[in-house]
Amino acid sequence: MKTVLMTGAKGGIGTFLRKELKGKYAFRLSDLGDVADLAANETSVPADLSDFEAVRQAVKGVEGVIHLGAFSVEGSWQTIQEANIIGTYNLYQAAHEAGVKRIVFASSNHAVGFYARSDTIDHSVYPKPDTRYGVSKVFGESLASLYADKYGIESLCIRIGNVADRPVDHRRLAIWISPRDMAQLTELGLEHPAIRFEIVYGMSDNVPHAWWDNSNAYRLGYVPMDRSDDFTEEVFKNCPEDTGDPRADHYQGGSFVSTESGGDPTKPDME
């Protein structure tokens, strides 16, 4: 069984992936503190991503990494720098030194959040981050590209929308991804033999609401199992389309385009 390090394992996405990928990998689970309720083939390795020596120990002997660890909403520059920029650099450098050859990087839709909702964008568009958090995800994608070309570490960067059991508002009809579709993309990122450096969008089959052309994911074999349109009637009935923030309603990044600082990294619907 392949040994895979998962950073940020206590977060919402990590919790979903542990359930969906149970039994497929020997997971080394890492977060700031111990991960509880370990299943068979799971071990806990606490590490602060800003501590290079701790990250170096965490990656020893693993064959792949799912890098979810980050401050997952907008925050001060110092907070984002430590957790998301220094932390991601430490992860890639330690993986390089340890000979790890495959990383799945949890990027974000907020790397491109300042595109208008009237735009349809694919993986090749230039970044338009909506926050310091979004900037950190652009940095992570660029770092993944560098380490692919210079050191041969293969990466799938997933610009994740919203991972949840169901979309709960109009924006999430466009960006939602179910846990089992997120797991499928993650497994593809760990196993696809031809990946060197790729960017895809973390979304289910969200036609007709989608703003993203996810043809690069389909090219790699992704076949989403869930559709946001199955929830359209429920969302339209229970949720107003106008949020009261015209900038948030205009841009793909939603409320992140208006957020200046702060945020709760433990919120359940992490994006």
Catalytic residues: 133
Cis before 46? omega within 30 = no
In DSSP notation, 237-268 reads: HHS-S--S-HHHHHBTTGGGGT--S---TT-S
Q: Of 239, 207, 241, whose CA–CA distance to 226 is shortest?
A: 207
Reduced to 3 states (helix: H, G, I; strand: E, B; else coil), residue 201 is strand
- Gap between the Cα atoms of 227 and 217, Å rounded: 16
Burial of 249 (0-12, 13-18, 19+ CB in 10 A): middle
- Gap between the Cα atoms of 25 and 44, Å rounded: 14
- Gap between the Cα atoms of 225 and 170, Å rounded: 20
Q: Of 155, 160, 248, whose CA–CA distance to 204 is shortest?
A: 160
Strands (E), the chain: 3-7, 26-30, 42-44, 64-67, 102-108, 154-160, 162-163, 176-177, 197-202
**Residue 26 CB coordination number (10 Å):** 15
